[in-house]
């Protein structure tokens, strides 16, 4: 069986493959996507780079891999080791040799969907131009890593809706563009990308880092780099792959191990679950690879879990560490001001949202219910997408300002309560008169 991999790191990678000894002569493709930018979000690109190394060392050639990522970490001014990205403390350089098919402004949900669908015409002149050219006997592995929200996966300056992702997958199935597909998604509320969307009978199997209504978690806060090096779910599945003979380990076994070890959030499986009887190598490459003796750990000694925080709290923890490690009172004061600035920016988002709700809500009691009822999943998708799109355009770009994603549940509440989308949109236009802002973490 040939092997093709597509990886997108927001950043993305695409791969076409080598012969595999399996039940047909299809091709294996893999897609890896890192959907964020900035040093605060170092971990997302580190996860994707590590995933690339896994696929590469398991026999997938570079010409068959597509990577999408912002690529602003390895040579960032805050990186004391230019050209180096690590995914665990004192770990290997996972950036070495990574493909850069789509970087910077080319990391968009539109490009990702065109790459997935094999739309060469749409990708002509963009990045490497590589797309998945899969057929009815081929398998596809997709790994998405970034911030999320109910029904949303983030990109550096935009976002992907759950309905658009699943519509693309269903169309690919209708056009016989794959035999089987597996998706591993690292993001807050990542389960919402599949709940009520992904059919159980189209040969697609997915794992989400969290349930539809909870955060995923960052881990490995590095003392030197002052940023998180990985995300718990991603670390757990990749460290498992690194230490296992994946030609013998099934997807079911990997899921059970990762579910048990990821104690911070509820890792869930979706779609056609009987696919998990296949080996991990069926989707991550069957080439012989040197195994790594790293983990598993006893819960009390697990360096990933012991350093883990919910993704929304990661920026604050990073700044608190900078304060604690400051070499002088003056330096500590600088980082305290940065933390105060971050908290003020977050308050600004909440204040704007509060003003929007109070413009629409008939009284304070209802307004507060809209603001405080968290952990919601989407019911009225038409309403939700309309008001989120308006919020993104009028108030806070959801790619540039990840913290704004944390408050989209308010719009789920407003839609469920029965507020008309046009009224919410008019409130956005009335309240959001501030200049464009960026980097509200």
CB 5 within 8 A of CB 61: no
CB 30 within 8 A of CB 7: yes
Which positions ≥6 away from 177 have C-beta within 8 Å? Answer: 117, 118, 132, 134, 135, 136, 138
CB 234 within 8 A of CB 241: no
Which positions ≥6 away from 145 have C-beta within 8 Å? Answer: 9, 32, 33, 34, 35, 44, 47, 48, 51, 185, 186, 187, 231, 234
Q: Measured between alpha carbons, how far is 108 from 159 in angstroms, rounded to an integer?
A: 8
Residue with tokens 């697990």: 302
Q: Measured between alpha carbons, how far is 276 from 31 in angstroms, rounded to an integer?
A: 19
259 has catalytic annotation? no
Name the active-site residue from 188, 219, 304, 415.
Answer: 188
CB 108 within 8 A of CB 251: no
Name the active-site residue from 147, 197, 407, 428.
Answer: 147
**Which secondary-structure segment (H or E) carries 266?**
none
Torsions phi, psi of 53, nearest 5?
-60, -40
Q: Measured between alpha carbons, how far is 369 from 398 in angstroms, rounded to an integer?
A: 23
User: Which residues face 13 on adjacent strands?
Assistant: 7, 67
147 has catalytic annotation? yes
The sign of the dihedral angle between the CA atoms of 416, 421, 424, 428 is positive
The sign of the dihedral angle between the CA atoms of 82, 83, 85, 89 is negative
**DSSP-assigned letters across all residues of 10-53:** TEEEEEE-----SSS--EEEEEEEE---SGGGHHHHHHHHHHHH
User: Which residues face 145 on adjacent strands?
Assistant: 34, 186
User: Which residues face 185 on adjacent strands?
Assistant: 144, 208
Q: Which residues are catalytic?
A: 147, 188
């Amino acid at each position: 069986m040939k092997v093709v991999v597509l990886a997108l790191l927001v950043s993305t990678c695409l791969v076409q493959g080598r012969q595999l000894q399996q039940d047909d002569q299809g091709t294996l493709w893999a897609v890896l996507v890192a959907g964020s930018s900035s040093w605060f979000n170092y971990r997302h690109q580190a996860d994707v780079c590590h995933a690339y190394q896994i696929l590469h060392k398991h026999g997938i050639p570079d010409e068959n891999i597509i990577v999408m990522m912002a690529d602003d970490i390895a040579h960032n001014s805050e990186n004391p080791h230019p050209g180096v990205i690590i995914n665990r403390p004192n770990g290997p350089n996972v950036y070495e040799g990574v493909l850069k098919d789509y970087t910077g402004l080319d990391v968009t949900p539109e490009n990702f969907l065109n790459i997935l669908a094999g739309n060469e015409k749409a990708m002509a002149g963009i990045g490497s131009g590589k797309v998945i050219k899969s057929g009815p006997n081929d398998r596809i592995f997709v790994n998405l890593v970034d911030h999320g929200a109910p029904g949303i996966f983030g990109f550096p300056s935009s976002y992907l809706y759950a309905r658009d992702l699943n519509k693309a997958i269903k169309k690919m199935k209708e056009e016989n563009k794959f035999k089987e597909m597996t998706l591993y998604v690292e993001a807050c509320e990542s389960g919402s990308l599949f709940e009520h969307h992904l059919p159980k009978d189209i040969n697609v199997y997915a794992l989400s880092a969290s349930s539809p209504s909870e955060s995923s978690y960052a881990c490995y806060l590095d003392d030197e780099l002052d940023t998180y090096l990985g995300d718990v779910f991603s670390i757990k599945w990749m460290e498992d792959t690194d230490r296992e003979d994946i030609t013998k380990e099934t997807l079911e076994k990997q899921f059970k191990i990762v579910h048990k070890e990821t104690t911070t959030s509820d890792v869930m499986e979706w779609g056609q679950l009987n696919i998990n009887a296949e080996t991990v190598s069926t989707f991550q490459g069957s080439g012989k690879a040197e195994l790594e003796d790293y983990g598993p750990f006893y819960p009390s000694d697990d360096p990933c879990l012991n350093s883990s925080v919910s993704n929304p709290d990661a920026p604050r923890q990073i700044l608190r560490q900078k304060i604690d490690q400051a070499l002088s009172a003056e330096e500590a004061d600088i980082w305290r001001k940065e933390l105060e600035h971050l908290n003020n920016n977050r308050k600004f988002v909440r204040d704007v949202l509060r003003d929007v709700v109070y413009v629409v809500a008939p009284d304070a009691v209802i307004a507060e219910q809209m603001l405080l009822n968290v952990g919601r999943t989407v019911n009225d998708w038409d309403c939700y997408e309309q008001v989120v799109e308006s919020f993104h355009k009028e108030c806070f770009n959801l790619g540039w300002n990840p913290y704004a994603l944390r408050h989209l549940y308010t719009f789920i509440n407003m839609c469920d309560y029965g507020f008309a989308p046009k009224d919410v949109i008019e409130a956005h236009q009335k309240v959001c008169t501030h200049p464009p802002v960026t980097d509200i973490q």
